[in-house]
Amino acid sequence: MEPAGRFITFEGIDGAGKSSHIDTLAAAFRRLGETVTVTREPGGTPLAEKIRALLLNDAMDALTESLLVFAGRRDHLRCVIEPALARGEVVLCDRFTDATFAYQGGGRGFDAKVLSILERITQSGIALEPEKMRDPDLTIWFDLPPEMAAARLADARAPDRFESQPAEFFGRVRQGYAERASAAPQRFVRLDAGQPRDAVWSQLTGSLVQRGWLQAGTSDVGASAS
């Protein structure tokens, strides 16, 4: 039987501002009586968080990077995401497989066909049944020009292996997201993340109200949050 929960992922280049909206959205869902799991990739389990530290800090080639990303994802799906969805929860995940196609595929130029094979193997359920491949139900893409994202990141903490990439890298990552979005338009919602926070929040909640997943008026709550 299909899991009853809703699996929502959040994507965008570094500095797009997505993370600050996720907790506010979780609170909005909880006010409606939903149980919410907030998680992230790379990471989300003790094992996958160790893999995250390697990915962000250690030099490696694009295939190694991709294999590690999918290894962490398998553990995350098995231990956190699938069980939460089976319990009927809302799962809000900061990045998922679209990030692999955007960063390893677009940014690093790694073969998308190989990524598709790894995607199918990793996301085909515990028993590896391809017809049960787990995709997000909805993906919110915070889109903005790399120059604007770089300006936002300028005063942030010391950059990791990805954040320290040049603007051209993020141009390719952005293009990678655009290709994933046009291949699955019914799953993707593109937000103009260059707008002020309140306007981005309104776009975000508007898309959820449209699906009947939030009630109209939720946007007022986010606008007043920090």
Residues engaged in binding ligand TMP (CB under 6 A)? 14, 40-42, 69, 95, 99-100, 103-104, 162-163
Smallest gap from residue 216 Cβ to ligand TMP (A): 30
Smallest gap from residue 163 Cβ to ligand TMP (A): 6
What are the helix and strand counts (H, E) for the chain?
10, 5
Q: How far apart are CA 174 and CA 145, in angstroms?
A: 8
Smallest gap from residue 162 Cβ to ligand TMP (A): 3
Does the N-terminal peptide bond of residue 46 adopt cis geometry, omega within 30 degrees of 0? no
* Nearest residue (CB) to ligand TMP, 84 versus 214: 84
Amino acid in position 223: A
Residues 6+ positions from 171 with CB-CB distance below 8 Å: 146
* Nearest residue (CB) to ligand TMP, 19 versus 35: 19
Residues 6+ positions from 217 with CB-CB distance below 8 Å: none
* Nearest residue (CB) to ligand TMP, 41 versus 75: 41
Minimal CA–CA distance to 197: which of 24, 10, 9? Answer: 24
Smallest gap from residue 209 Cβ to ligand TMP (A): 26
Smallest gap from residue 113 Cβ to ligand TMP (A): 17
In what helix (H) or strand (E) does residue 189 lie, and over which residues does it extend?
strand 188-192
* Nearest residue (CB) to ligand TMP, 200 versus 214: 200
* Nearest residue (CB) to ligand TMP, 172 versus 213: 172
Amino acid in position 171: G
